[in-house]
Amino acid sequence: MAARLNHLANDPDAESDADYAVYRKLKAAFEVPTADEADRRILVAGDIAPNDAADQVLASLLNP
């Protein structure tokens, strides 16, 4: 994983410039959601326009 992340960090066509150091920092800070928090999770498609994603979030909040 380290090699892949470091390669992507230096790839100008990659969507993320995070390297293995960033991964380790975020992994150390990650907190597993509680069951209650996981039940309130809102799934949003990552391959749609930002306005459509915002509409998905708002619709989920209005229609639990």
Matching residue, tokens 């909040």: 61
pLDDT digits (tens, 9 = 90+) for 12-41: 887 777 888 889 999 999 999 898 888 888
The band of 1, judged by pLDDT with boundaries at 50, 70 and 90, is: confident
Query: 19: Cβ–Cβ under 8 A, 6 or more apart, which residues?
Result: 5, 6, 8, 9
Write down the domain spans for the chain.
1-30, 34-64
Residue type, 60: S
d(CA 39, CA 52) in angstroms, rounded, equals 23
Total-model pTM:
0.51
Residue 34: DSSP 8-state: P
Residue count of the chain, please give it: 64
d(CA 50, CA 64) in angstroms, rounded, equals 21
